[in-house]
Structure 1
Amino acid sequence: MTRLTTSEFLIGILAIGYFAIVQPVPAVAQSIDETASVCAGCHGDKGVPIDKTIPNIWGQNRLYLLNQLHDFKVGHRKNEQMAPIVEPLSKTDIEALATYFSKKPWPDLQQPAASDDVKAKARAVLDSLNCRGCHQEHYQGDTARPRLAGQQDEYLTKTMTDFHAGDRKTYMGMVALMKSIDEADIKALGAYLAGFKIPGHP
């Protein structure tokens, strides 16, 4: 058996360390980027969805995103486009995606502020339902509730309508609240929240 000198041994250790560093190692970030690129097909590669009925997810609250992905995964929320995308995702993938999108900047969807009469109608409804109790003062949401301010008008209206009709039952509190108002109220809320600006934020 050949005995290594001290210098040869140290050179060998350094070589191993070098190759450990330079060898490509599959990274979670790379796979998440690839998965996120699939999401961009509908949600937009710059955070602007391709359709007004599709929600913006850039900068949305992490736990809310996590909960929605989980609900799609287990079938609590039904969507033909989302179902095949979330089906192969692991719990780790879902957590990574929620983190990825929550850290993106909220895009400016360039939605106009509601007219004064729509604002007055929407504010009266929001106050009566105490929407700030969950969605916070500027409708920015919290850890588990979504940001509503600046979200897509048609998506907001569709979501509230689905709760109103009982087609979406993931949050029974929302079902009860939306059933207590009419379609005209829902339309006003969608327009107002879509054009609502959070102070100091896009």
Structure 2
Amino acid sequence: MNKLTAREFLIGILVIVCIAVSRPHSASAQSIDELATVCAGCHGENGVPIDKTIPNIWGQKRYYLLNQMRLFKIGHRKNEQMAPIVEPLSQTDMEALATHFSNLPWPDLQQPAAADDVKVKARAALNPLNCRGCHQEHYQGDMVRPRLAGQQDEYLLKTMTDFHTGERNTYPGMVALMKSIDEGEIKSLATYLAGLKLPEHPK
């Protein structure tokens, strides 16, 4: 079994366990702590996900989290791990989870700042894309757009690549933007954004 297969196998086992834990009762009958425990199986008990391709959700924007759960639930966003987790959730459950995780502190994912040459390449790609127009000056996100600064590097890489290839098409504007840059630029962007730290009180 190679490294990638072992990683996928581990995630699959954890998802099966999460589903098994969540099935005995309807989701709405569970407390927010019980629901959050299911999420922690992959997203991490301390906010650090078990795999670099899984996003951090602690401290992420509430409406963004809520909207992503809705997209997974109705099948507009595809993910084999998330689909069975959100399937039994009610609107109330999803709102409670979004509020819960958005109020938690953003964890330190121990990601170093990008090297100078990577920063130069990333900034050159970012300027024409005008990512700050939506994700804000420090890439901290707003009410509806996610925080990018300090997010998991491999998750950022996969997400932008999926928009680039059209595999993920939930946001046509993002598809168009990511198609306008090449794979090398996407890699630089992921590394650069993952290594950013927010100022104490970003505007």
1:184 equivalent in structure 2: 184
CA distance in 2, matches of 1:74, 1:32: 22
1:42 equivalent in structure 2: 42
SS in 1 for 2:53: coil
1:98 equivalent in structure 2: 98
Closer/same/farther in 2, CA of residues 29 and 117 from structure 1, 3 Å limit: farther
2:124 equivalent in structure 1: 124
CA distance in 2, matches of 1:80, 1:116: 37
1:81 equivalent in structure 2: 81
Structure 2 gap segments, 5+ residues each: 1-27
1:174 matches 2:180: no
Superposition misfits of 4+ residues, deviation over 2 angstroms: none
1:154 matches 2:140: no
The CA RMSD measured in Å over matched residues stands at: 1.3
CA distance in 2, matches of 1:143, 1:76: 21
1:71 matches 2:71: yes
CA distance in 2, matches of 1:190, 1:61: 19
1:196 matches 2:190: no
Closer/same/farther in 2, CA of residues 53 and 159 from structure 1, 3 Å limit: same
State the shift of 1:38 in Å: 0.5
Structure 1 gap segments, 5+ residues each: 1-27
Report the residue type matching 1:182 in the other structure. Answer: D
**Count of residues paired in the alignment:** 174
CA distance in 2, matches of 1:178, 1:121: 15
Report the residue type matching 2:152 in the other structure. Answer: Q
State the shift of 1:49 in Å: 0.1
State the shift of 1:45 in Å: 0.3
**For 1:72-108, what per-residue CA distance to the aligned partner results, in whole angstroms no more than 9, with x for missing partners?**
0100011111011100000000011000000000000
2:31 equivalent in structure 1: 31
CA distance in 2, matches of 1:70, 1:62: 13
What is the percentage of aligned positions where both structures have the same residue? 79
State the shift of 1:29 in Å: 11
Flag the structure with larger Rg. 1
1:11 equivalent in structure 2: none
Report the residue type matching 1:61 in the other structure. Answer: K
Q: TM-score, normalised by structure 1?
A: 0.84
Q: TM-score, normalised by structure 2?
A: 0.84
